[in-house]
Amino acid sequence: MFKLLLILFGAMVSGVYTIIAIQNGIGLFGIVIGIVIITTIINTINYRQ
């Protein structure tokens, strides 16, 4: 349950970051950063199992 919340939180944070980045004209770079953030969070969760 906690892991699911952490994944959802990570997705939400990176989603918000991506929207801000697109609005600021960063676009693709923001999306890449978002994907990296999600991947890092998921890897951290899997490592702790």
Which pLDDT belongs to residue 49? 64
Question: 10: number of CA atoms within 13 Å, CB side?
Answer: 19
- Give the span between the Cα atoms of 38 and 2, in whole angstroms: 16
- Give the span between the Cα atoms of 6 and 40, in whole angstroms: 11
Which pLDDT belongs to residue 4? 80
Which pLDDT belongs to residue 41? 84
The tokens describing 5, both together, are 């919340």
Q: From first to last of the 49 residues of the chain, give the pLDDT tens digit.
A: 677 877 778 788 877 877 777 777 766 776 787 788 888 888 887 777 6
* Structural domain of 41: 2-48
Which pLDDT belongs to residue 2? 76
Radius of gyration from C-alpha coordinates of the chain: 12
- Give the span between the Cα atoms of 41 and 32, in whole angstroms: 14
Which pLDDT belongs to residue 27? 64
> Domain total for the chain?
1
